[in-house]
A and B are shown apart, each in its own frame.
Chain A
Amino acid sequence: METATHMLRTGRRGTLFEYQMALRDLRASVGRMDLAWSLAWHDVSSRYRGSILGPFWITLSMGLMVMGIGVVYANLFGIALQDFLPLVALGIVFFGTISGTITEGCDTFVQAAGMLSQTSLPMFTFVWRTMFRNVINLGHHLVIVIAVLIYYGFWRHANAPVAALGLVFLVLNAGWISMLAGLASARFRDIPQIVTSVMQFAIFVTPVFWPVERLGSHKWVLDFNPFYHMLQAVRAPLMGGQVAAHTYLFLAGMAVVGWAVTFSIFATIRRRIVHYL
């Protein structure tokens, strides 16, 4: 019932031991996944407390942005609105989840300083909290996705199960980047600014607002953009397109390597994190 009925904390006992302790933290957080959910829900509901629309405010502002950009760019590019608006809508919503998870990841540990410095709550709990919060937000934004897909008739070709698989890859990858940003931000306070700038840059070099075809013969550069693959894995199936096999390969590889690296860093600095804060 209480946080721990048996607690053992010891000094360093070699690298392997540090990994075991990090794994124990991970396992403890999985056992208390419901706490991470509660915290995430609390975050969402307290951010919009007192407002009538609640979290749908971001949905609304996102909807306006989709309309604005969709209409203007469709004219600039000379593309039919019914092809372009869904592209932009899905792009903005799913890229929003990617960039939200990553930029909010910077605050993961800093925000939890109070709890981390006087309880034995697992650190991973706060990583899940950030991820869940963004998944909950995405849940609200799905309204836009569904509305657009129905209005423009894409729902007939949409392949939801494949898109769901893509979403799993998206969340998995955004998750490790988020945690890595959190660990780095705890130690170096310049990181949040850097991360924000990088994500701002990323939204323009990733085909969020523009169709891939516009790149012409330069299309290959996108293969090196991880955000393109994350976005593509969700957006393409919803718009009746195919996801290239190498996109899945890229995402799977990135998730494995990314989590391995992040977990190793976590294992190495785990006992120091609370002192950074």
Chain B
Amino acid sequence: MKAPPVSISCQGLTLRFPVYGVDAKSLKKHLAKITVGGKLGRSHGSTEVTALSNLNMELKAGDRLGLVGHNGSGKTTLLRALSGAYEPDEGAIEVKGRIAPLLDLNLGIDPSATGYENIRLRGRIAGLSAKEVDARMDEIAAFTGLGPFLAMPVKTYSAGMQARLAFAAATSVEADVLLMDEWIAVGDAEFQQLAHKRLLKLVERAGILVLASHDLDLLRLYCNKVMRMEGGVASPVTDIRKLDELMAA
């Protein structure tokens, strides 16, 4: 079976956040000078933060893009825009391929429901049909290593067990475009290794990876391209080998 072409294309992508219910008038002058965060502006009575401005990028199958930048430089916003949650104010985003946003592992996790129910729910949210979830259930259950605990409510789990469940459920869907906010490392040492392997496999299968991280060594390890973001403005997509020059610039 030939895979359809996978690609991401952003043209002149601009994203402004209206901030409601906050009177940032007095704060505005201060914040505008700080490098952390986007630019603040004011329109229609609500404060606006320009989270991304005029971002252009083209990614094709095989690209592993690392995003670097300060807190609030727009990395997560870009990931969310790529997931389809945020609509651009200007420009366009086009993504071809199945998208798997692994931004928040706890998405859709209901603490009062059992492990099995949560796996099912998470699978359904990710776009699997009930049958597909059932077909994968054994594999996912085995991966969590939680055994009989899967039949118990998630609120009885320890934080580590919860993380195992969330990770196993979230990574059970194969996708063409993988979006990650920080490399996911959960559980104890043994599970971390398992998780690491699984994630690598997922990345290998996916056509495109976009990974936001502050850990430069990590980016060097997993990415072949890098983009630096600052105050919502992105550098051109450059080769990972030029990371040092990019950071120095």
Using a CB–CB cutoff of 8 Å, the interface residues on chain A facing chain B are 1-12, 34-35, 38-39, 42, 46, 49, 114-121, 187, 189, 270-272, 274-276
Contact = CB atoms under 8 A, between A and B. Distances in A.
Given A42-B117, A115-B108, A187-B20, A11 B14 contact: yes
Given A42-B117, A46-B110, A119 B97 contact: no
B134 to A, nearest CB: 13
Interface core residue of A6, A34, A118 (most chain B CB under 10 Å): A118
Contacts, number: 120
Given A10-B91, A12-B89, A38-B124, A4 B84 contact: yes
B159 interface: no
B112 interface: yes
Chain B interface size, as a band, is: 35 or more
A160 to B, nearest CB: 31
A5 B97 CA distance: 4
A119 B101 contact: yes
Contacts of B86: 9, 117, 274
A9 B126 contact: no
Contacts of A119: 83-85, 101, 107, 125
B89 A120 contact: no
Nearest to B84: A120
A109 to B, nearest CB: 13
Contact of B87 (A6, A121, A189, A271): A271
Interface in B89-108: 89-101, 103-104, 107-108
Given A9-B87, A39-B121, A114-B107, 20 more contacts: A1-B128, A1-B132, A2-B98, A2-B176, A3-B126, A4-B95, A5-B97, A7-B93, A8-B94, A9-B84, A10-B88, A11-B89, A42-B121, A49-B153, A115-B108, A118-B83, A118-B104, A118-B107, A270-B87, A274-B87
Contacts of A11: 14, 87-92
Nearest to A114: B107
B94 A7 contact: yes
Given A7-B84, A118-B83, A119-B84, A2 B89 contact: no
A177 to B, nearest CB: 23
Interface in B110-132: 110, 112-113, 117, 121, 124-130, 132
A188 to B, nearest CB: 9
A121 B18 contact: no
20 contacts: A1-B132, A3-B126, A3-B127, A7-B99, A9-B84, A9-B86, A9-B87, A9-B92, A9-B94, A10-B88, A10-B92, A11-B14, A11-B88, A39-B121, A115-B108, A116-B85, A118-B83, A118-B85, A120-B83, A271-B89
B80 interface: yes
Contact of A274 (B85, B121, B129): B85
A196 to B, nearest CB: 21
A34 B20 contact: no
A1 B88 CA distance: 25
Contact of B173 (A2, A39, A121): A2
A7 B125 contact: no
Contacts of B18: 272, 275
Interface core residue of A10, A12, A34, A117 (most chain B CB under 10 Å): A10
